[in-house]
Amino acid sequence: MSDLDEEYQLEYFHDEGFVRKECPSCGAHFWTRDEDRELCGEPPCADYEFIGEPGFDEEFSLEEMREAFLSFFEEHGHERIDPYPVAANRWRDDVLLTQASIYDFQPLVTSGQTPPPANPLTVSQPCIRMQDIDNVGKTGRHTMAFEMMAHHAFNAREDLEDPDQYAYEGEVYWKDETVEYCDTLLDELGADIEDVTYIEDPWVGGGNAGPAIEVIYRGLELATLVFMCMEQDPEGDYELKDGNTYSFMDTYIVDTGYGLERWTWMSQGTPTVYEAVYPEMIDFLKDNAGLEYTEDELALVNRAARLSGQLDIDDVDDVEAARDNIAEKLDVSTSRLRELVEPLEDIYAIADHSRTLAYMFGDGIVPSNVGTGYLARMVLRRTKRLCDNVGVDAPLDELVDMQADRLDYQNRDTIRDIVRTEVEKYRETLERGGRQVERLASEYAEKGEPIPLEEVLELYDSQGIQPDMVEEIADDHGADVEIPDDFYSLVAARHGGEEAFEEEEAVAEQEDRIAELPDTEKLFYEDPERTEFEAVVLDVVECEDGEGYDVVLDQTMFYPEGGGQPADVGTLSSDDVTVEVTDVQEIDGVVLHRTDGDPGKGEFVRGQIDGTRRKRLMQHHTATHIIGHAAREVLGDHVRQAGAQKGTDSSRFDIRHYERISREEVKRIERVANEIVTDNLAVKQEWPHRQEAEEEHGFDLYQGGIPPGEQLRLIHVAEDVQACAGTHVTRTGDIGTIKILSTERVQDGVERLVFAAGDAAIEATQRTEDALYDAADTLDVSPQEVPDTAERFFTEWKERGKQIEDLKEQLAEVRAQGGGSEGEEVDLGDATAVIQRVDADMDELRATANALVEEGKVAVLGSGRDGATFVVAVPDDVDLNAGAVVSELAAKVGGGGGGPPDFAQGGGPETDKLDDALEEAPDVLRQLREA
């Protein structure tokens, strides 16, 4: 395998007098102007040298530093663009969160399929990196939420035979100019560029890779300059640090990342980045938690801050051993150091996590058990736990709102509602989960084994139980558990990992088969109401399973399945044969018609669509757009599609929402939707350039998925605009009416709306009315009186049920006191057992048994009402196992049973042996007592 050493031999380095060195501490290669320098300058090889001594001439706030950066690159020929959302799955289907500015342009721009919004460009992109969560607060420099200031240039090789194959061509600039820009910016801000080091560190991510340079100044990494010029390739010559092989691409991209927070911190020289980024919030949290330090304690904390870079879990094997080392350097005990710094670490993490949550909820992420929703919930619960640990009693929604206000989000009321709802859910989860942890701790304490990490991860995943809570409960029950330093990173990796693209073999073979065929002309976009057409059969392939044929036409009116819309069905007819079209699929622009016969390659055929089915599907598809728009109007802008399936009788539409949808909200959604229908608005389509569409309408275009290509088909329905490939009615009035049939929670954070449109809506309404009239006939009242009558009957039924329970308890007490049929009393020495047959249901048996136990007696009861059933109850002070008694008796009637020592039940099918079993019960009791 080849290496990338030659890629770092930049003319700029040689012209400027840099020398290349190898760090004796970590082994990294780096470039420096200082011939005497030995260490690379990055922690843990070096400490922060700018704390108390800022590295720039002037102090900048976040806003000022952002503007200084963007203005610098604008002055050097870059166009400033607006940042993208933090939820990368709004425009990509391969990742969840935006972790770098290059995510804005993968995979379509980096592959050359579409042009960038500008070239070159500069942006300050909000990002969230879940893998940094365990470092936040500890290292002084890590923030899970951050802004990546960046400049990008998109280049294509100039020696290409077909330069038009990519959406950009030629070289804008490359490595030398990129490093020079960084050097110049540092110099203009007053940095001592003699003290700057450039560390070689190849980069991989999202299927791409390339040489990269980390920019280190006074112990702090300020930027990473990535030269993305490679792509993952099983046959590639370069094996990189992720274990995959790579080869060079025709396109190559300047991908830089400058940490806004770190540049701001460098300009201020505060003890940690958090005081520079969240000064007001840090003060508020410290005051709220009652954290106070003497001058000597504060001096010690600040000295520790200079060394905190050594706590990076990515660089050290044992964080606590690293803390011991810091304590030794400061000449203080580790326990004293922890006492001083750990509350501050919690405060720093709370501020950072609150900002992360503001980004997430501000950009429309809804908490749930999957995807971005799961990650948001994980951060929120960790933040709440940190607040409880350090004694911050300010409501969490208030803390998140402080950050949302600073970030200028307009949906702050919704953000606070989401946080309050989630905090309440978390409380309920802790009550349930705490008992589960106690059982688990007891189980492993009895085994004498530590609780496995996988169990702790599953507890967090399924119950939201924080690891320190598991530690506390485990300690109380005498069980051991070891929580790794990167626990939350492990949790995040379970839910947010990036996966390489692997093409299924069957799909690849199918694509090869049709690779030589031209794209099918799609007539259904020109006239969606047309149901007949003529075409030429280009190819016919018998299916491998022998169950039909795939027919390719030069043009078609048949809609292929996609976007939640089923395929059209119908027929293809030639002069000699008519075949049924049962399914239609599209692969790489070629439409495949699945038929039950062979119409003949080269034949001229007439196609006939099932027009009634097509009309109903168009009505439901357009209604789906309208329902989504109405839901956002009623519930809030955070509502986004989580899935949809169109049908002919009804359709379902899943939305991301943090609460159950109330009946009143359903009616409001329905009213808004039908107002759009009755307005009879035109349903318009257009085919703009992707960049133009995204710039005008944002990423809410992609409610139903992310389509490929430079051109997008947009569907306009009232104010709703979406990228959509489906068939639609031409005017909203063609839908007729929309009726929401039901709502349900399909998973936490996802609500399902089931609805019908057009004739299907009328049919569904009539079915509901039929059910109402049937109920009215049964109750012998008018339909309008059914609700009140049903409520009255239900109330009376409940009251009678209570009366029956009361009578059962009274009867049980009478039996316990010797009333009713006599039971046999057996002297057990220190207790008396009552053995009795009571042919009653289980509730009555339990009540009788409990009444006997209250009298201080052992109850052994049998019933022949439904098979042979036994109930055994034992007072607390009697040494007898009820479960063992039931097990013995149930075996005598061909069954089984058991339970805890104080109460058990069981039985079997052989009712005729019940009396014999009860006669043997005294012997069973005595044998078990003696055992």
The token duo for 414 is 């919704």
> How far is the CA of 853 from the CAs of 181, 318, 635, 683, 810, in angstroms?
85, 57, 55, 74, 15
Q: What is the pLDDT of residue 497?
A: 42
pLDDT at 81 over 50: yes
Sorting pLDDT into bands at 50, 70 and 90, what band is 498? Answer: very low
pLDDT 10s digits, 367-391: 987 788 888 998 998 999 899 989 9
Q: If you average pLDDT over each of 730-734, 784-788, 790-794, which comes out highest?
A: 730-734
Distance in angstroms (rounded) separating the CA atoms of residues 892 and 913: 7
Torsion of CA 142, 148, 150, 152, to 10 degrees: 110
Contact 653, 624 (CB under 8 A): yes
Beta strands in 544-577 (DSSP E): 549-553, 555-556, 570-573
Please count the other Cβ atoms lying within 10 Å of the Cβ belonging to residue 34.
14
Higher pLDDT, 283 or 434: 283
Distance in angstroms (rounded) separating the CA atoms of residues 891 and 881: 16
Q: What is the pLDDT of residue 495?
A: 56
- Report DSSP state, residue 112: T
Contact 532, 608 (CB under 8 A): yes
- Report DSSP state, residue 41: -
The closest alpha carbon to 589, from 428, 703, 725, 719, belongs to: 725
The closest alpha carbon to 359, from 99, 746, 19, belongs to: 99
Element (H, E) at 159: none
Phi and psi of 442, rounded to 5°?
-65, -40
SS3 for 439-459, per residue?
A: HHHHHHHHHCCCECHHHHHHH
- Report DSSP state, residue 658: S
Sorting pLDDT into bands at 50, 70 and 90, what band is 2? Answer: low
- Report DSSP state, residue 912: G
pLDDT at 420 over 80: yes
Match 């088909």 to its residue by tokens. 713
CA angle in degrees (0–180, nearest 5) for 714-715-717: 145
Contact 58, 190 (CB under 8 A): yes
Please count the other Cβ atoms lying within 10 Å of the Cβ belonging to residue 50.
21
Check whether the bond before 107 is cis (ω within 30° of 0). Answer: yes
What DSSP assignment string belongs to 872-899?
Answer: EE--TTS---HHHHHHHHHHTTT-EEE-
Contact 728, 718 (CB under 8 A): no
Contact 166, 250 (CB under 8 A): yes
Distance in angstroms (rounded) separating the CA atoms of residues 172 and 251: 12
The token duo for 120 is 């070159």
CB-based burial label for 541 (10 Å; 0-12, 13-18, 19+): middle
Match 């007072």 to its residue by tokens. 875
Please count the other Cβ atoms lying within 10 Å of the Cβ belonging to residue 131.
18
pLDDT at 550 over 90: yes
Element (H, E) at 916: helix 914-930
Q: What is the pLDDT of residue 241?
A: 81
The closest alpha carbon to 3, from 174, 201, 197, belongs to: 201
Distance in angstroms (rounded) separating the CA atoms of residues 787 and 795: 12
Distance in angstroms (rounded) separating the CA atoms of residues 515 and 379: 46
Average pLDDT over residues 82-101: 89
Q: pLDDT averaged over the chain?
A: 87
CB-based burial label for 439 (10 Å; 0-12, 13-18, 19+): exposed
Sorting pLDDT into bands at 50, 70 and 90, what band is 1? Answer: very low
Alpha helices in 751-785 (DSSP H): 759-779
Higher pLDDT, 137 or 290: 290
Q: What is the pLDDT of residue 58?
A: 94
Average pLDDT over residues 142-151: 94
pLDDT 10s digits, 111-140: 888 889 999 999 999 999 988 888 888 788
Looking only at the bridges linking them, the beta strands covering 245-259 and 145-156 are: antiparallel
Distance in angstroms (rounded) separating the CA atoms of residues 126 and 259: 10
The closest alpha carbon to 739, from 620, 634, 645, 641, belongs to: 620
Q: What is the pLDDT of residue 471?
A: 72
Q: What is the pLDDT of residue 489?
A: 67
Distance in angstroms (rounded) separating the CA atoms of residues 900 and 890: 15
Sorting pLDDT into bands at 50, 70 and 90, what band is 394? Answer: very high
Contact 717, 625 (CB under 8 A): yes
Q: What is the pLDDT of residue 462?
A: 63
Average pLDDT over residues 624-645: 92
Q: What is the pLDDT of residue 815?
A: 58
Q: By three-state DSSP, how is residue 683 classified? A: coil
The half-sphere exposure of 836 on its side-chain side, counting CA atoms within 13 A, is 26
Sorting pLDDT into bands at 50, 70 and 90, what band is 752? Answer: very high
pLDDT 10s digits, 4-32: 888 999 999 999 999 999 999 999 999 99
The token duo for 458 is 């599953």
**Residues with Cβ within 8 Å of residue 453, at least 6 apart in sequence:** 482, 483, 484
The whole model's pTM is what? 0.76
Average pLDDT over residues 149-178: 92
Please count the other Cβ atoms lying within 10 Å of the Cβ belonging to residue 919.
11
**Residues with Cβ within 8 Å of residue 34, at least 6 apart in sequence:** 194, 195
